[in-house]
Structure 1
Amino acid sequence: MDLPLTQGVHHIGLTVADLEESAQFFTALLGWQEIKRRDDYPAIFVSDGAIMLTLWAAQTDTPTRFDRKTNVGLHHLAIRVDSKATLFEIHDKLSTHGVEIEFGPELIREGPAMHMMCYEPSGIRIEFHWTGV
């Protein structure tokens, strides 16, 4: 069997409506680090130490919100969490800060894995996933 030609994800680029607001979602609410900014791009790079996101500002005053049921593109971004407690902590923190929650922590099928789904400020669906172990 041939080995894959690739070695995982380097970064994920997301176009966002409000660059600062989306960056704050990841840094202020989730504790990620801002790695760098490019004002000429314009973009803010954020990381949790395992993955890096490039948040890129939409180049229009009226960006079109993605519809996962009718558009081809990113259905959602799934981010791994280390424990059930962390999953519930994220849910509570996001709820307290007015983040739109699609559904709170729940079992995946019969469990023990659990997940929840929310929307970051630009409407991108973010899943938080705990493997159950």
Structure 2
Amino acid sequence: MTEKLTCGVHHVGLTVPDLDQARAFFCDVLGFDLVGGKPDDPSIFVSDGTILLTLWRAADPMTARAFDRRANIGLHHLSLAVANDDVLDKAWNMVSTHPEVTIDVPPEPMRPGSATRHFLVFIPGGIRLELATPFTKA
């Protein structure tokens, strides 16, 4: 077996149409902290203490094309872990009532018979986001 050369995700970079809108969603709704940024790029860095997200503003948001997860190569969705069902339910209540969020999949088992639950939404700016409880074998 080949030695593993990586040990997890360092950070994820996402292009967004509006940095203020993205910061408000991640910080005000999900509780992330603003931990830096590069105004000249422009970008901001947000973190929940475990994962770091780099949010880059599209050069021209008005002409930028939205990612089509069925037609393009790249990030299909971003999945963030939550501690348990109670936190998933709390997150669902916060996220699903946000006026700029579109529901994709409401809370449900990840697959039939699984104790792992998740939901998927399109957050402000159109990125598909999943929140999921810890993985358990069915």
CA distance in 2, matches of 1:72, 1:94: 27
CA distance in 1, matches of 2:63, 2:85: 38
Question: 1:12 is matched with which residue?
Answer: 12
User: How far did 1:2 drift?
Assistant: 3.1
Question: 1:34 is matched with which residue?
Answer: 34
User: How far did 1:131 drift?
Assistant: 2.1
Structure 1 residues 1-133: aligned runs within 5 Å:
1-60=1-60, 61-98=62-99, 99-109=101-111, 110-131=113-134
Q: What is the number of equivalent residue pairs in this alignment?
A: 133
Name the amino acid aligned to 2:76: H
User: How far did 1:127 drift?
Assistant: 0.4
CA distance in 2, matches of 1:117, 1:87: 11
User: How far did 1:101 drift?
Assistant: 1.3
The TM-score, its normalising length taken from structure 2, stands at 0.91
CA distance in 1, matches of 2:110, 2:96: 21
Do the aligned residues in 2 keep the contact of 1:84 with 1:132 (CA within 8 Å)?
Answer: no
Provide the secondary structure at the position in 1 that maps to 2:65.
coil
Name the amino acid aligned to 1:127: E
User: Gaps spanning 5+ residues in structure 2: where?
Assistant: none
The runs of at least 4 aligned residues of structure 1 exceeding 3 Å deviation read none
- The alignment's C-alpha RMSD in Å is 1.3
The TM-score, its normalising length taken from structure 1, stands at 0.94
Cα deviations across residues 66-92 of structure 1 (Å, max 9, x unaligned)? 010101110001100001011111111
